[in-house]
C-alpha cells in the first residue's frame, strides 16, 4: 500500500478536509506576561520570576517558542494540514508554583495574585488569537475559589474576543472547594449558558497530588483521565443541565472510548435511583431521594443534548464507537505543541484512525463539529484548507507503519494502532 506522500500529488484535485484541532496549547514566554499585569503587581512579578524554576522540559528547549511564536505556529500547523485550533493554556501563568490550577493557595493574598496571573494570561491570549483572525479559539482560565470573580472574568474574556470558552478546573480530593455538583457554581453555569461560552474540562487539572515516586507517576497516568471524567456525572446528577439548558460541556484529551460504557452505567444508576427515590420502604431510597426533581432526562439524553468530546488523536480502536458516542459530538485534536501530540505527523494519525471511515463522517470529526461548537467560519477556513488541508484520498490510504520517530501515543503499539 503506498504512503500518503506518494498519492498526494496524484490527488491534488480531490476534496480537502478542513481540519480544526480541538486540542492545542499556547502561552506567553514567562517575562512577556509582565506587560499584561497591572503596574501594582510588577515588583511582585519581578521577584517571582527571578526565582521561578520551570518544571517542564518542553518549555526550556529550542522548540518552546511554538507556544508564542505566531508565525512559526501558523507555518507548522499548515504544514501539518491544520487550519485552525482551540487554544488551551500551556506555559506557567504568573504567581503559580506550577502549571496546576489546583496548586495550594493558603492565603487570600495568594489567590489575589493568582487571579491577576490568570487575567494576564487571558489578556495575552486575546492578543495572540487576534494575530490569526478566525483561526484561534482561545480558552480562558479561571479559578473556582470565588464564583463572582469567575463570572466577571467570563464576561470580560467574552468581550475581549476569546471564543474557546473557559477551562474548568477540577475539584480533586483535598482541594477544599465544593464539589462540581454543588449549586454553589450555578452563577458560573448561568453566565456560560447566557453568553454561549463552552465549558471545557481538560485532562490533568482534576487529579489530587500523589507524590513524585515512580509508582506515583504511573498511578497518575492511570487515574488522571478518570478524575477528569468525574465532571460529567457531577454536572449530570447535580441537575446542572436541567437548570441551565443552554450549557455546553466539552471533555478534552480524556480519550473517547470510555463514553458509551460510562453512559450505560449512568443510565443504570439514574433509572435505579429515580425508581427507588419514590419508595420509602427500601434501604436504597435515601440515595435516590430528590434526584427525579433535578433530572428531566436520562444521562445519555443529556450527553447528546449538551456534551462533546475533544477526542484529541483519536485511537483506531475508538473509531468503531463513533456512532454510540455521537458523530456530532467528536472533535479531533493534535495536542500541538506537546511531545505526545501528532505534529508533524497529523496526516499519518488521521490515516491510522479514519482510513476506512466515510469522508462525510471524517469531515465532521476533524473540523465540522469544532466549527459549530467554537464558532469558526467554515467557509473562510475552507479557503485556507484548499491549499494545505489533507485530501480525502490521502486520508483514505491506510497507514502501513507509524513514522519511526513519532512520539505520539497515537502511534504506540498499546494504542491499538491498526497495521495493514
Residue 38 resides in a domain:
yes
Report how far apart, in Å, the C-alpha atoms of 211 and of each of 37, 214, 216, 217, 223 are: 32, 9, 6, 7, 13
Residue 420 resides in a domain:
no
Please state the domain count of the chain.
1
Domain carrying residue 13: 4-415
- pLDDT at residue 417 greater than cutoff 80: no
Under DSSP, the state recorded for 50 is H
Residue 80 resides in a domain:
yes
Confidence of residue 173 (pLDDT cuts 50, 70, 90): confident
- pLDDT at residue 174 greater than cutoff 90: no
- 250: phi then psi, degrees, rounded to nearest 5: -120, 125
What CATH number does the domain containing 72 carry? 3.20.20.140
Which tens digit of pLDDT belongs to each residue from 370-396? 999 999 999 999 999 999 999 999 999
pLDDT, the chain, mean: 91
Give the per-residue pLDDT at 287.
83
Cell 483572525 belongs to which residue?
Answer: 133
CA angle 96, 97, 103 (to 5 degrees): 80
Average pLDDT (356-362) is: 98
Confidence of residue 198 (pLDDT cuts 50, 70, 90): very high
Give the per-residue pLDDT at 8.
38
Grid cell listed for 269: 444508576
Residue 262 resides in a domain:
yes
- pLDDT at residue 420 greater than cutoff 60: no
Task: Give the whole-angstrom CA distance, residue 322 versus residue 331.
Answer: 11
Q: For 97-134, b where at least 16 C-beta lie within 10 A, e where not — what string?
A: eebbbbeebeeeebbebbbbbbbbbbbbbbebbeebee
Which tens digit of pLDDT belongs to each residue from 203-250? 987 888 888 899 998 998 899 899 999 999 999 999 999 999 999 999
Which tens digit of pLDDT belongs to each residue from 6-37? 333 334 579 999 999 999 999 999 999 999 99
| Dihedral sign for Cα atoms in the order 190, 191, 196, 200 | negative
- pLDDT at residue 183 greater than cutoff 80: yes
pTM (global) more than 0.85: yes
Q: For 43-62, b where at least 16 C-beta lie within 10 A, e where not — what string?
A: eebeebeeeeeeeeebbeee
Which tens digit of pLDDT belongs to each residue from 53-69? 877 767 778 899 999 99
Amino acid at each position: 500500500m503506498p504512503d500518503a506522500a506518494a498519492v498526494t500529488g496524484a490527488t491534488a484535485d480531490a476534496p480537502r478536509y478542513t481540519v480544526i484541532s480541538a486540542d492545542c496549547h499556547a502561552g506567553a514566554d514567562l517575562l512577556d506576561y509582565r506587560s499584561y499585569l497591572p503596574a501594582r503587581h510588577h515588583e511582585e512579578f519581578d521577584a517571582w520570576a527571578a526565582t521561578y524554576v520551570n518544571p517542564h522540559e518542553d518549555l526550556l528547549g529550542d522548540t518552546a517558542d511554538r507556544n508564542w511564536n505566531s508565525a512559526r505556529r501558523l507555518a507548522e500547523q499548515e504544514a501539518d494540514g491544520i487550519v485552525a485550533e482551540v487554544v488551551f493554556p500551556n506555559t506557567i501563568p504568573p504567581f503559580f508554583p506550577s502549571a496546576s490550577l489546583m496548586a495550594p493557595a493558603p492565603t487570600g493574598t495568594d489567590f489575589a495574585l493568582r487571579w491577576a496571573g490568570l487575567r494576564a494570561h487571558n489578556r495575552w491570549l486575546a492578543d495572540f488569537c487576534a494575530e490569526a483572525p478566525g483561526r484561534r479559539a482561545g480558552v480562558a482560565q479561571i479559578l473556582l475559589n470565588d464564583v463572582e470573580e469567575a463570572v466577571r472574568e467570563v464576561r470580560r474574556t467574552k468581550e475581549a474576543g476569546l471564543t474557546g470558552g473557559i477551562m474548568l478546573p477540577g475539584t480533586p480530593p483535598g482541594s477544599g472547594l465544593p464539589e462540581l455538583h454543588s449549586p454553589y457554581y450555578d452563577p458560573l453555569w448561568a453566565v456560560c449558558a447566557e453568553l454561549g461560552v463552552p465549558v471545557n474540562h481538560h485532562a490533568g487539572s482534576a487529579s489530587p497530588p500523589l507524590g513524585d515516586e515512580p509508582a506515583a507517576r504511573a498511578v497518575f497516568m492511570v487515574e488522571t483521565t478518570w478524575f477528569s471524567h468525574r465532571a460529567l456525572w457531577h454536572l449530570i446528577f447535580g441537575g446542572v443541565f436541567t437548570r441551565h439548558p443552554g450549557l455546553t460541556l466539552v471533555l478534552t484529551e480524556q480519550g473517547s472510548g470510555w463514553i458509551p460504557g460510562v453512559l450505560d452505567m449512568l443510565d443504570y444508576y439514574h433509572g435505579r435511583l429515580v425508581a427507588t427515590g419514590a419508595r420509602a420502604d427500601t434501604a436504597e431510597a435515601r440515595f435516590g431521594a430528590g434526584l427525579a426533581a433535578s433530572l428531566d432526562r436520562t444521562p445519555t439524553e443529556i450527553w447528546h443534548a449538551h456534551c462533546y468530546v475533544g477526542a484529541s488523536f483519536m485511537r483506531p480502536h475508538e473509531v468503531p464507537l463513533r456512532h454510540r458516542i455521537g458523530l456530532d459530538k467528536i472533535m479531533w485534536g493534535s495536542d500541538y505543541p506537546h511531545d505526545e501530540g501528532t505534529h508533524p505527523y497529523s496526516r499519518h494519525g488521521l490515516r491510522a484512525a479514519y482510513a476506512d471511515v466515510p469522508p462525510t463522517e471524517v469531515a465532521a470529526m476533524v473540523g465540522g463539529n469544532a466549527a459549530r461548537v467554537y464558532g469558526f467560519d467554515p467557509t473562510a477556513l475552507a479557503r485556507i484548507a484548499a491549499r494545505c488541508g489533507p485530501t480525502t484520498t490521502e486520508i483514505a490510504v491506510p497507514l502501513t507503519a507509524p513514522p519511526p520517530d513519532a512520539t505520539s501515543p497515537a502511534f504506540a503499539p498499546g494504542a491499538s494502532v491498526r497495521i495493514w
